[in-house]
Structure 1
Amino acid sequence: MLLPLAVITAGVALRQIDRVHFSRRRPRAAGADELIALQRTRANNLTPLSLLTGQWVQIAGWWILATHGPLLAATAAVGVAVQFRHLQEISHFAVHGVLARTGHANHLLAETFAHHPLALGPLPERRRRHVREHHPNATLAHDPNLAELRRAGLRPGATGSRYALALIHPLTPRGFHATATGIAASLRGSSAWLRCLAPAAVTAAAYLTGGWTALVCGLLIPRLLLYPQLAWMSLLVEHTWFDPEHRTGSPAHVEAGRCLRLYPRSRALAALAATTWLPYGDLHHYAHSAHPSVRWNYLPALEAHLTPPHFTPDGLLIGTATVARRHHRALTPPPTRQPSTPTPF
């Protein structure tokens, strides 16, 4: 038991090098220009390498832990899924060009540590889809993320069981098929041999580290089921997808009308989300949408500087004001009143 815990601890320690480097003398609240100027003075290519290496060291620790019985194997499955989610979000900031100092380093780090091993597809394709198509069109007809939600069943009239299934779409047969199809598509095309080599290397590493238990519980279940569900939950809480307030004006004012901020009144739930399914600034998606060039380390300070968004829910599923309830209400058409029959005299 001591070995996997020591490996996981070593991975966490490696990740802190980047956090400490960028967090020194960070203001509590500041505008985007000040924060971008600060992050530029600290931009480098070494601490992001340490950060990404630490994520994979933690994954290796979870693989070792999976061999210590069924309960710890299940725990490892969740732990690895969380690390995969972290890798996705780190590479998201590489897409925006603010993970490392140079564009080449952003591309190389994201492809090497996230896109290739997790079979996420080419980074330029993600950049086109996310930066050029999603950000300017969030919640609008041409938003590819909105189209993805609709394909999963989140569309007007989705009530009852269909709506509930859409909330756990990656865990359903249709969602599993979409995940598998996406992985297969990412392994084809140009440089297919390289794109197949990286997942094969990860598969071999999992098996050599912890045998079949690590392979199944530490790789296949997290990659095919648990991590996609965590990413799906993150997508659900990015925007008020189906009833945004369409505004004009500054970027912050526009985004405040179509973004939300989860857990604004619970530090405990916010901290839990930030360390699991909404990592590396994803909890502060409103601030990111308003100023995508700000690195995650500075999004809390930016958020404190901005006017709050129009929706600040207590939770995704549980609470008095939840994201799921709002989405359901926006997708459910109001009942039509039947015309009254005149009373005969």
Structure 2
Amino acid sequence: MLCLAVIAVGIALRQVDRVWFARGRPRAAGAAELISLQRRRANNWSPVLLLCGQWLQIVGWWLLAGRGPLPALAAAVGVAVACRHLQEISHFAVHGVLARTARANRLLGEAFVHLPMGLVPVEVRRRRHVRDHHPHATLAADPNLAELRRAGLRPGIARRQFAVAFVLPLTPRGMWSTLSEIAGNLRRSPARIAMVATVTAAALLVGGVNAVVFAMLVPRLLLYPLLAWLSLLVEHTWFDADHRVGTPAEVEAGRCLRLYPHNRILAAVAAATWLPYGDLHHFAHSAHPAVRWNYLPALERHLGSPHYSPTGLLVGTETVAGRHLRALRSTTDTPAEEKASVHLAV
């Protein structure tokens, strides 16, 4: 009961930010109206409660992990989901819309997410994501597309290779990549070493060895990387994007996708677990990155859907995995900019 109570209090703390930004929110509106409302509601205190609530949930999972094998497995999944939530919260800090001031966005992202999780500094992520990814999504200059190709997702890929690449973080190669990345980040930052050591000691104190193994190492090294990897795969039509010109919404409609457009149950599960804080509405976010996650559903209703709205990730009449595989097996390794120029010329 104590474990569940701590998790419940953490969930309740998170709702303060949700309720605060819900006041006066229209069902559907354009970016200008939503950004104006967002600026009036912006503050530096509700994000702190949101992040504290997320970590309080993790503490509850640590407590649960010490209760036996089955609770430990549940805790592994719970912490992995919490880490995924933290990643998305810091994503909006990188865009400067989590808190009211730039300094608060940077400090909250570092202190609550990037330092304890052993991630790269917030400024490095800002450069990679805001400057390098957003303007060049699905083009050769996009670092995310380069990451997908390093994973083996290249034209002509065999089905077996595609299946392995789809769950890359669970493979020996993927696990080594995760460990190497964390080690590199820690090696360059004594502050990260100290923070990760503090979190590890806290997990050991709260839930014992089980908490460290099942509610810290397994989620951070295996399950959370898998959830983050799958979320990347469903952001864009990476390998056969329809490159267009026009308004931001028109451009992004050709290279984004919207998962579970007609299945509210699966959409709700995804939003609560592996596509949290607006990640399910990636089209709306890509079209207007300055809009906070609270307003992305309203923006999406205003913009409509992107050109591709699959019914599932792996199962359904039209799946993300199926489209990616078809695109890779039917194309040659032509640079994306060249494909785009040919398409626009035609």
User: TM class by shorter-chain length?
Assistant: over 0.9
Match of 2:341 in 1: none
Structure 1: distance between partners of 2:24 and 2:267 = 23
Give the deviation of 1:71 after TM superposition. 1.1
Is 2:9 the counterpart of 1:7? no
TM-score, length of structure 1 as denominator length: 0.95
Root mean square deviation, CA, Å: 0.9
Query: Contact conserved, 1:121 with 1:185, CA < 8 A, in 2?
Result: no
Change (3 A) 1:294 1:334: closer
Is 2:186 the counterpart of 1:194? no
Match of 1:170 in 2: 169
Structure 1: distance between partners of 2:180 and 2:95 = 26
Match of 1:182 in 2: 181
Give the deviation of 1:169 after TM superposition. 0.3
Structure 2: distance between partners of 1:50 and 1:334 = 48
Match of 2:126 in 1: 127
Match of 2:58 in 1: 59
Match of 1:306 in 2: 303
Summarize the alignment of residues 1-345 of structure 1 with structure 2, pairs less than 5 Å apart: 2-189=1-188, 192-333=189-330
Give the deviation of 1:187 after TM superposition. 1.1
Query: Contact conserved, 1:154 with 1:163, CA < 8 A, in 2?
Result: yes
Q: Secondary structure at the match of 1:118?
A: coil
Cα deviation per residue 1:251-309 (whole Å; 9 max; x = unaligned)? 00000000000000100000000000000000000000000000000000000000310
Cα deviation per residue 1:206-236 (whole Å; 9 max; x = unaligned)? 1001001000000000000000000000000
Give the deviation of 1:193 after TM superposition. 1.6
Structure 1: distance between partners of 2:93 and 2:184 = 22
Q: Secondary structure at the match of 2:115?
A: helix
TM-score, length of structure 2 as denominator length: 0.95
Give the deviation of 1:333 after TM superposition. 2.7
In terms of mean alpha carbon deviation, does 61-70 or 13-22 score higher?
61-70
Give the deviation of 1:334 after TM superposition. 7.1
Q: Secondary structure at the match of 1:71?
A: helix
Kindly provide the amino acid, as one letter, of the partner of residue 158 in structure 2: T
In terms of mean alpha carbon deviation, does 326-335 or 142-151 score higher?
326-335
Structure 2: distance between partners of 1:121 and 1:334 = 34
Kindly provide the amino acid, as one letter, of the partner of residue 286 in structure 1: F
Unmatched runs of 5 consecutive residues or more in structure 2? 333-346
Give the deviation of 1:78 after TM superposition. 0.2
Structure 1: distance between partners of 2:157 and 2:219 = 28
Query: Contact conserved, 2:155 with 2:331, CA < 8 A, in 1?
Result: no
Q: Which has the larger radius of gyration?
A: 1
Misfit runs of 4+, over 6 Å: none
Query: Contact conserved, 2:156 with 2:331, CA < 8 A, in 1?
Result: no
Structure 2: distance between partners of 1:333 and 1:38 = 46
Give the deviation of 1:188 after TM superposition. 2.7
Q: Secondary structure at the match of 1:187?
A: helix
Q: Secondary structure at the match of 2:240?
A: coil
State the percentage of identical aligned residues. 68
Structure 1: distance between partners of 2:32 and 2:266 = 30
Give the deviation of 1:320 after TM superposition. 1.0
Structure 1: distance between partners of 2:309 and 2:232 = 16
Structure 2: distance between partners of 1:124 and 1:105 = 13
Count of paired positions: 332
Match of 1:343 in 2: none
Structure 1: distance between partners of 2:186 and 2:61 = 26
Structure 2: distance between partners of 1:197 and 1:253 = 46
